[in-house]
Structure 1
């Protein structure tokens, strides 16, 4: 049985950041990375952004050269089925056992599906580089594409495909695209970007199932309609893939893996980081964050911690999205279920503050330059709200 000083389960950006940090911290032991996908770590946001929008950016630009730079041994297309913290071993789907000194679980998430859709290479639950490659092969030439979901992935991939000679239809449950995150009138402006790009929007609608006939997929819609397309892209977010620690470590209500401020699980010698980890944010409280800023920062922190650093994870991550020449950066809770204050600026920026009864809980900056986030973090850290919310206008 082969044993690694540090073994990482999951082959994404957390694995790369952790391996790099281990070496930078002076760790000279062996590192193994077990990735379920058939490709080495890469920046996943490029799958719905840069690979479509930057003609000079190719798949070659995705490789952070983890193995080359760190000496880590990367095992591709390798799924871990169980962990034994007492024996300090993991078992893979083919029955192979590997030992470890320290284990990092960075399994991320699996895309949410839609019941009743056919198992087909024309129905993509969009998450991996393989999905991107298949969609690239199918897109263009006037292909009819249905994007199911209007959140981060759904809106970004719909925006990208609208510029690829495709007929794009977005099926989403919101009344106005983005209205669960953007207050009026920003949601209307966001939706209009897609309308102007020629994207058809089926709002207030969901997919109840479908079937494939030859090269065509027929979707059954919740309003009784039928949508016939050439390709279906499901972009409805992910569910944390924490099941590898079933019965081994504490899990959160949504299936994530509970960690402490040093990213340790409740199992001895087992750490978790990235999309799958529910951690105690120093400003925002216990939460699980599914964005690349958190993956990179948390991966680097856990690498340093495993290598001997006495630090805690104290980074409050931001998140962002870019579509059709516009975008936003945000921090904290950004739900329109909260009270909102909208600050529209003459320079085109819009700052949205999201408030509970007790505090400012989130900030979103539309078409900003990124400089606003430091002030947003300070505002969230204060855990207060002005007596008159209008006083927030011009704050950032």
Structure 2
């Protein structure tokens, strides 16, 4: 399946150089960078947000300088990481204090009933929340997809860690790893739209990157610090002042103002302390991706992620067309070939759009996301030094078996997108 494209050439309004134009994408000039990033996000207005962006930018540049100088990136347990763990433990200890105090009040008799119940309810509301498997997405276990899990185990071995206990398939243009339940079962969340627009080696690189987070201990997403961040976010929500308050709500705002500032400050501090470790973890995960799927496939994966918005736009268009033509019949009619049409559309994206996204990313730096290094820096780190060959190579037979194991999930996700729309 192919996509018909029609490129034209026109002069740049700024420098007069010839511009190759594709009506589906932004018109820009490669000679003078005219209109290279027309939707560049504004710098955050808040002083703390600007400081976070500046710190992330400096640290990203420092990491790149280390790699360029031939220094090996290694996971570190430095002072900020130790402080982050100490703060996270203090957060959890606060919840335990509420439990103990509430129980003490209840044990003291009827006079302590009200404060005891109140403290226990607060402790329950602010308890560390562990993630659970979703109810609305396909979940695959080892017995259901032996070939897929065999591939995951091979990639995990390259990362120096163990495999996962379950694979959650959803409709996102993303992939991630995490833990669920109090026992910390490992889960890979695999966005089917992302999986379908990658080549087999790019998929292996993607899996290598995700397992790299396990292998190098991503602090922010760990059990201790991760649950503390979620608890602090819950506390901040409870103490947040009410907008346009009544007289009673205004009084509550006054009482909760100091606790809100305290919780907000601790949350920002914990966020800052884990920022360096999180950025370093991304670079380390990229190295694992290169060892698993090859440097070339990892670079291609990053380029594909640069144009991920095009995939989102195409899926929204597919869902809109299905909704305009009536529900059940239109969904079933467009269901066949959805993933092939998506892959064909992504394959038709011209090289000059990739180049525009690379240059736009370099201009934006950390203005979009301070926790992840900019793609152009990650790409540059990969291209420094010796090129890695793939440690895990699939073959057509294996790819067919994995596709068969994912067939039911592919159909369910496609039907979900066409029925309910695509939401990125």
Q: What TM-score does the superposition give when structure 1 sets the normalisation length?
A: 0.25
Bigger Cα Rg: 2
More helix by share: 2
Higher strand share: 1
Normalising to structure 2: TM-score of the pair? Answer: 0.24
Q: Which has the higher contact order (CA 8 A, sep 6+)?
A: 2
